[in-house]
Amino acid sequence: MSADAQRSGAGPSGTATGLDAPDRPANGPTFQALSTGRKIKNHAATVLVTLAFLIALVPLVWVLVTVVGRGVGAILSADWWGRSLNGVLPESYAGGVYHAIYGTLIQALLAAVIAVPIGIAAAVYLVEYGRGRLARTTSFMVDILAGVPSIVAALFVFAAFISIMGGVQSAFMVSLALVLLMLPVVIRNTEEMLRLVPDELREASYALGIPKWKTIIRIVLPTALSGTVTGVMLALARVMGETAPVLVLVGYSQSINFDPFSGNMASLPLLMFSELSNPEPAGQYRIWGAALTLILIIMILQLGASVVSRFSAISK
């Protein structure tokens, strides 16, 4: 800002007084035109970066058009949202996916119930308390956890909770794997929001004699609430599409199962994967219908997240 002001101030006054006029050669040009080579390079770069952006739009539009085009027939059918595939034959264009929608939602919600408190607490630790080597290690491990492939998280839950502790495959095991995938997203988003809370708010609270922990709970966290909620919704959107954990940790069921702690349970990705081995055309119909349903749910969450972030008390 100040540089702009200086420049605009110095320029006109310099030419107006003509102080530097005698230094100039009589007919020498002040500025030389850009050489052709530099012009071409500059234009080529502009074209290339614009092209890169347009190239990235191709797969996005292509995927969305494919999914909507092939899936819209299924989701508009009468039974789609209110029936399961219980007793529906592989070749039959009937039944619906509400059992899979329930599974997708309950697995993600259970994971959130575990991951959100831990994630927020860990973020509070990193921002408000963390010092020294332990904090640096924690921050490093959050990055590593963010990079752990979902299949590895699923294998870990299988090895720890099923092989060694003798648990059984169930939707809850899937939720445990999803917790590992949600945690880094929740921690990073909350951390970012907590750092945006102005120190003046904390200091004002301290000045009134409020202990630090109460300040965090009553002042800092509420201020960062909308950003935290946004992060949680984005994390939910991310884990709902995960297929690897459901493949390893729960069996597929064509009918509804309300109990996440026992038995097989369908989810939208698992339904799609199971129908891949269905050779009938109805299998494709269900796959693309489920794909469109999944994308719709994720889009609603994403939109919700951006709406919530509008109501943020603090801005970036």
Partner 1 sequence: MTERTTEQAPSRSSQDETSAAGSATIDTVTAPDPARERSQGSPIRGRGERIFRGLTSGSGLLVVAAVAAIGLFLLVQAVPSLLANNANFFTSPVFDTRDAANLNFGIRDLLVVTLLSSLFALLIAMPVAMGIALFLTQYTPRRISRPFAYIIDLLAAVPSIIYGLWGIAVLAPALLPIAEWLQGNLGWFFLFAPGNLPVLTGTIFTGGVVLAVMILPIITAVTREVFSQTPRFHIEAAQALGATRWEVIRMAVLPYGRSGYIAGSMLGLGRALGETIAVLIVIRAATTPSNFSLFDGGYTFASLIASAASEFSQPLPTGAYIAAGLVLFVLTFVVNAIARVVAGGKVNG
What residues from 14 to 73 belong to the interface with partner 1 (CB under 8 A)? Answer: 31, 34, 38-39, 41-42, 44-46, 48-53, 55-57, 59-60, 62-63, 66-67
For residue 278, state whether it binds partner 1 (rule: CB under 8 A).
no
Distance CA 190, CA 181 (A): 15
**Residues 73-112 contacting partner 1, CB under 8 A:** none
Q: How many CB atoms lie within 10 A of CB 6?
A: 10
Residues 184-203 that bind partner 1 (CB under 8 A): 187-188, 191-192, 195, 199
CB 294 within 8 A of CB 269: yes
Smallest separation (angstroms) from partner 1 to the CB of 267: 11
Structure tokens at 304: 């919700």
Point out which span in 18-26, 86-94, 139-147, 308-316 binds partner 1 (CB under 8 A): 139-147
Q: Does the footprint of partner 1 cover residue 151 (CB under 8 A)?
A: yes
From the list 79-87, 92-100, 242-250, 257-265, the region that binds partner 1 by CB under 8 A is 242-250
Binding partner 1 (rule: CB under 8 A), the pick from 128, 264, 296, 304 is 128
Binding segment for partner 1 among 12-20, 81-89, 150-158, 220-228 (CB under 8 A)? 150-158
- Cβ distance to partner 1 smaller for residue 203 or 259: 203
Q: Which of 68, 105, 135, 201 binds partner 1 (CB under 8 A)?
A: 135
Q: Which of 169, 170, 288, 308 is nearest to 237 (CA)?
A: 308
Q: Are 237 and 305 in contact (CB under 8 A)?
A: yes
Q: Quick one: which segment of 8-16, 21-29, 78-86, 181-189 binds partner 1 (CB under 8 A)?
A: 181-189
The secondary structure of the chain in percent helix, strand, coil, rounded to multiples of 5, reads 70, 0, 30
User: Does residue number 204 form part of the binding site for partner 1 (CB under 8 A)?
Assistant: no
Residue 245 DSSP SS3: helix
Total of residues contacting partner 1 (CB under 8 A): 103
- Alpha carbon 185 to chain centroid, angstroms: 7
- Kindly state the smallest distance separating residue 155's Cβ from partner 1, in Å: 4
- With a CB cutoff of 8 Å and minimum separation 6, the contacts of 226 are 308, 309, 311, 312, 313
Among 34, 27, 186, smallest CA distance to 120 is for: 186
User: Binders of partner 1 among 281-300, rule CB under 8 A?
Assistant: 287-288, 291, 294-295, 298-299
77, two tokens: 């059918």
Interface residue with partner 1, options 140, 258, 261, 311 (CB under 8 A): 140
- What does the DSSP assignment read for 212-237? HHHHIIIIIHHHTHHHHHHHHHHHHH
Which residue from 10, 94, 109, 152 is in contact with partner 1, where contact means CB under 8 A?
Answer: 152
